[in-house]
Amino acid sequence: MIPEGQESKSENGNTSKNSTIYSVQKPSASALLGYISAAMIMSLGYSLIIIDFADTLLLPDQATFSFLLEEQIWGLIVPNLLMIIIAPIVWLKVSGAVLAFRSYSDHYIEAETNVTDLNDIWSVFKNKILSGISANIGFTFIIAYLIYFFLPEDLTGNDALFLSIMVMQLVPLVISVLVPVNWVLNDSLIRYEDEKGLVHDVGEDMNKGLLRKFIGIGGLILGLDVCYQLAFNSEFTFILNWYITGIYFVFFFILLSSGTIVLISLIYLSQFHESGVNFLRARLAKELPVARTIVDYNLPSAIKEGMVSIGEKQAGTRNAAFIVLIIAALIILALCEYYILFEIGPFTLM
């Protein structure tokens, strides 16, 4: 264990201060500026929609889109601003409701919890915000694919893209059953011991779940298909069609909603996440053991020496076998190439 009063970095990037109360350190003015800058960069897709000539700098005229000012204001800008305001509150309420119905029998709560420092922008992005962006993009593409699949044939081009973008504004509400739930579980430090004596963390288990991978990978595949269908033009070459697909994929989807998720995540983490984690830990402390996972570094030196000697012996044996195998394979490969080229091939020796 860590000596009393010292700090360390936990696996999810938070700073441990040996406190039973979880806390979030609010961002400073410079950190806040960093988050806003990142959100603006991740919202560059709006420039291709709001600035009418911007898409002509990247796309041929036949592949550009044009939207009315009323469509931009009431279909994109206003809904997006409203979503930034209400989504953090929805995340708090939905995550609390979802976790209230989950059972944690045979689990325990880690006694000491962590501090999430929002001034550590890279750590917060890596361990939290990127997972929110990934889930948002995955669900966006899945919904866009369903819309495009069931859309009447007379609604294509501008209409199909605009409808997909409008529905995409609602995706932050959809992922409220996944992203904030995962973050709360990660920081609540709810753990259990399996039949082999290994300690697992409920939040880490959710991070590795198949559902998250399916949403991320499956969504990207479906997204490429949607973008290709929107971009395809029989008059264009194969390369040009895929170039336009890439522009749609990046600017009209990935760099359109990701900035919104950054701002929603920042508001949620700074205003609501701390209370959500502490409420769950307080409720579970009434019914689950509160324990400490101890790491014992003071084992007899003979244990370490035995592990090292066995590992070195096995590694030496494997390395020798691999070298012999590689040499033999190279010799056989060279003989095959010689036979093909010089015995029956174009360089037959006279």
Residue 71's pLDDT is 78
| 56 compared with 91, residue with greater pLDDT | 91
For residue 310, is pLDDT > 60? no
Residue corresponding to tokens 């991740």:
42
> How large is the average pLDDT for residues 71-79?
83
| 269 compared with 197, residue with greater pLDDT | 269
Selection from 127, 141, 129, 131 nearest residue 38 by Cα: 129
Give the CA dihedral 65, 173, 269, 93, nearest 10 degrees. 160
Strand order across the 113-117 sheet: 8-9, 15-19, 113-117, 23-25
Concatenate the DSSP letters of all residues of 110-179 into one string. Answer: ESSEEEEETT-HHHHIIIIIHHHHHHHHHHHHHHHHHHHHHS-TT--THHHHHHHHHHHTTHHHHGGGTH
Which own/partner contact pairs does 70-73 have at CB distance under 8 Å and 24+ positions apart?
71/162
User: What is the residue type of 329?
Assistant: A
Least confident of 76-80, 198-202, 212-216: 212-216
For residue 1, is pLDDT > 50? no
Residue 296's pLDDT is 64
The tokens for 237 are 């070459």
For residue 286, is pLDDT > 60? yes
CB 177 within 8 A of CB 250: no
CB 248 within 8 A of CB 155: no
For residue 94, is pLDDT > 70? yes
Residue 153's pLDDT is 67
- Sorted by where each begins, the domain ranges of the chain are 8-291, 299-350
% of the chain at pLDDT higher than 90: 27
Radius of gyration for the chain, computed over Cα atoms and rounded to the nearest angstrom: 27
User: pLDDT tier at 2 (50, 70, 90 boundaries)?
Assistant: very low
CB 212 within 8 A of CB 135: yes
For residue 45, is pLDDT > 70? yes
Residue 107's pLDDT is 87
Residue 8's pLDDT is 41
Residue 314's pLDDT is 52
For residue 11, is pLDDT > 50? no
pTM of the complete model beyond 0.85: no
The tokens for 23 are 């806390």
> How large is the average pLDDT for residues 261-278?
94
> How large is the average pLDDT for residues 316-322?
66
Residue 345's pLDDT is 54
